[in-house]
């Protein structure tokens, strides 16, 4: 049960009364006339075979207010795409799959590449970016929500709560971010969020003063959650990273474009569990190792756009400050866990913090050594300026891929 604290920066929507889902959904159906809703599901083909997605689709089948569901499908060959079409066919809502590796969308990607506009690397950010372009072209929704496809504890109340703040006709929020406790099987999870992002933001505040941007980021209870909703025009103007920096990138872009009065967060669930990636300490190309590098790079680059300058010496200080703050937080997490009868492996937590600390330096060197890197994908506004009919052609390509014969 959450309290009713407001942090004074963004509005916080709590779950104070466990209001029945039927009441929320009834309102959402009424709101949908004025603000129709699209749902984007960024998915890997492998997730169709995992334990979460079949249940998510079962829940979605019963959602009465959605105008469309757009599934961004990554890492699928032709046969797998055909399987995905069958898999999602049970959705009663209008739905389309973006076969990102298919020949039609690849051809458009090549065209964008020729103009220097294509995402530079594969990843969740790239997948979401293409889906964002598609929902603009399909023009079915005024409000768009996104959630991950590996949520093991999914129920459709999560989606209702995620949409509500942005679709209520008398509220004028542009963007809403979800939060929840990542607790499962007696353990406290959310390792990158708890052990890296929170102490890193606080270390940056110690070093650079209480910048409004850092205060703002730190006001999110779960900055890395993959669940957010927004008015559809928000998607047009933002530049997001192609990789795991997506969540931090989106939060940064909405901060740049809107007053914090137009931004909010919402309590989505009492517990949340998903697929846990390995830490992957030995291999920086995967797992939480890679995720922490991508996030640190995205944060440094966004801070640079706020006028913050970095140096090798500064990164060393950041590492030391972060490390101390992270160890103090582990103590707090541990005590909180004990009182709640949860388990926390302090050794594993400290090992993760050591890795993240090293990665802050690693990401720092990448930042200082590659000033010309293009980690952010251009906004769709820019794509439309360069190739005006590309979104429409993408729409047609998706229609053809989803038609009976591919
Ligand atoms: O949100 C996070 O911190 C990362 O996605 C890792 O989450 P996990 O520890 O719950 O796997």
Q: Is the pTM of this model over 0.80?
A: yes
The span from the CA of 288 to the CA of 244, in Å, is 10
Residue 142 alpha carbon to ligand 1 centre in Å: 30
Question: Taking each helix axis from N to C terminus, what angle separates 346-369 and 312-339, rounded to the nearest 10 degrees?
Answer: 160
pLDDT confidence of residue 130: 97
Ligand 1 pocket: which of 147, 150, 186, 190 to mutate (most atoms within 8 A of CB) = 190
- What pLDDT is stored for residue 372 in this prediction? 66
Residue 193 CA, closest ligand 1 atom number: 3
User: Is the confidence at residue 404, as pLDDT, over 80?
Assistant: no
Q: Whose CA is nearest to atom 7 of ligand 1?
A: 190
Nearest to 120 by CA among 245, 287, 271: 245
Taking the CA of residue 275 as reference, the ligand 1 atom at the shortest distance is 11
For residue 373, the model assigns a pLDDT of 73
Whether 263 and 181 have beta carbons less than 8 Å apart is answered as no
Residue 1 pLDDT grade (very low, low, confident, very high; cuts 50, 70, 90)? low
- Please give the distance, rounded to the nearest whole angstrom, from the Cα atom of residue 276 to the centre of ligand 1: 7
Q: Which atom of ligand 1 is nearest to the CA of 194?
A: 3
Instruction: Return the residue whose CA atom lies nearest to atom 5 of ligand 1.
Output: 190
237 pLDDT band, cuts 50/70/90, is confident
CA of 125 to the centre of ligand 1 (A): 17
Going by C-beta distance under 8 Å and a sequence separation of 6 or more, which residues neighbour residue 303? 204, 208, 213, 310
Whole-number Å distance between alpha carbons of 382 and 138: 18
CA of 181 to the centre of ligand 1 (A): 11
Distance 172 CA to ligand 1 centre (A): 31
- Give the tens place of pLDDT for each residue, 298-357: 999 999 988 999 999 999 999 999 999 999 999 999 999 999 999 999 999 999 999 999
Choose which residue among 42, 183, 225, 277 to substitute to test ligand 1 binding: the one with the highest number of ligand atoms within 8 A of its C-beta.
277
Burial class, 205, CB count within 10 angstroms (exposed 0-12 / middle 13-18 / buried 19+) = middle
User: Residue 160 Cα, ligand 1 centroid: separation in angstroms?
Assistant: 23
pLDDT of 257: 95
State the distance from the centre of ligand 1 to the C-alpha of 45, rounded, in angstroms. 20
Q: How many angstroms does the Cα of residue 206 sit away from the middle of ligand 1?
A: 25
Pocket test residue of 183, 189, 228, 295 for ligand 1, highest count of atoms within 8 A of CB: 189
* Residue 195 alpha carbon, nearest atom of ligand 1: 3
Q: Which residues line ligand 1 (CB under 6 A)?
A: 182, 189-193, 224, 276-277
Average pLDDT in the chain? 96
Nearest to 13 by CA among 367, 263, 328, 317: 263
Cα(11)–Cα(8) distance, integer angstroms: 7
Q: Which helix (H) or strand (E) holds 236?
A: helix 232-237
Residue 218: the pLDDT is 97
Q: How far does the centroid of ligand 1 lie from the alpha carbon of residue 385, in Å?
A: 38
Mapping DSSP onto H, E and C, the string for 190-230 reads CHHHHHHHHHHHHHHHHHHCCCHHHHHHHCCCCCCCCCEEE
CB atoms near residue 212 (< 10 Å): 11
pLDDT in tens, 83-124: 999 999 999 999 999 999 999 999 999 999 999 999 998 999
Query: What single string gives the DSSP state of each residue in 303-325?
Result: HHTTT----HHHHHHHHHHHHHH
> Cα of 193 to ligand 1 centre, how many Å?
6
């Amino acid at each position: 049960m959450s309290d009713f604290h407001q942090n004074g920066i963004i509005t916080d929507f709590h779950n104070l009364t466990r209001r029945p889902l039927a009441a929320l959904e009834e309102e959402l159906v009424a709101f949908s006339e004025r603000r129709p809703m699209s749902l984007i599901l960024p998915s890997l083909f492998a997730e169709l075979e995992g334990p979460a997605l079949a249940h998510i689709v079962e829940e979605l089948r019963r959602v009465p207010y959605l105008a469309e569901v757009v599934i961004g499908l990554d890492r699928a060959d032709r046969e797998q795409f055909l399987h995905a079409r069958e898999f999602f066919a049970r959705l009663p809502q209008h739905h389309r799959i973006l076969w990102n590796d298919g020949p039609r969308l690849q051809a458009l990607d090549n065209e964008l590449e020729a103009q220097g506009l294509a995402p530079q690397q594969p990843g969740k950010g790239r997948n979401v970016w293409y889906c964002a372009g598609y929902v603009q072209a399909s023009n079915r929704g005024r409000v768009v929500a996104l959630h991950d496809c590996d949520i093991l504890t999914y129920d459709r109340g999560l989606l209702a709560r995620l949409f509500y703040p942005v679709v209520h006709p008398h509220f004028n929020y542009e963007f809403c971010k979800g939060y929840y406790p990542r607790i499962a099987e007696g353990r406290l999870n959310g390792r990158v969020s708890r052990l890296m992002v929170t102490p890193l933001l606080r270390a940056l505040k110690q070093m650079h003063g209480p910048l409004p941007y850092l205060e703002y980021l730190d006001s999110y209870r779960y900055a890395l959650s993959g669940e957010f909703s927004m008015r559809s025009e928000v998607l047009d103007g933002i530049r997001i990273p192609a990789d795991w920096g997506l969540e931090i990138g989106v939060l940064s872009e909405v901060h740049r474009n809107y007053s914090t009065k137009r931004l909010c967060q919402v309590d989505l669930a009492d517990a949340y569990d998903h697929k846990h990636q390995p830490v992957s300490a030995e291999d920086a190309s995967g797992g939480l190792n890679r995720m922490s590098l991508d996030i640190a790079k995205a944060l440094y680059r966004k801070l640079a756009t706020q006028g913050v300058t970095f140096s090798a010496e500064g990164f060393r200080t950041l590492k030391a400050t972060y490390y101390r703050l992270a160890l103090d937080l582990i103590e707090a997490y541990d005590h909180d866990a004990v009182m709640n009868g949860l388990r926390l492996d302090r050794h594993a937590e400290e090992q993760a913090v050591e890795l993240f600390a090293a990665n802050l330096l690693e990401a720092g060197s990448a930042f200082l050594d590659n000033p010309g890197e293009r980690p952010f994908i251009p906004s769709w506004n820019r794509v439309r300026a360069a190739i005006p009919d590309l979104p429409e052609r993408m729409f047609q390509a998706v229609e053809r891929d989803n038609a009976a014969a591919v």
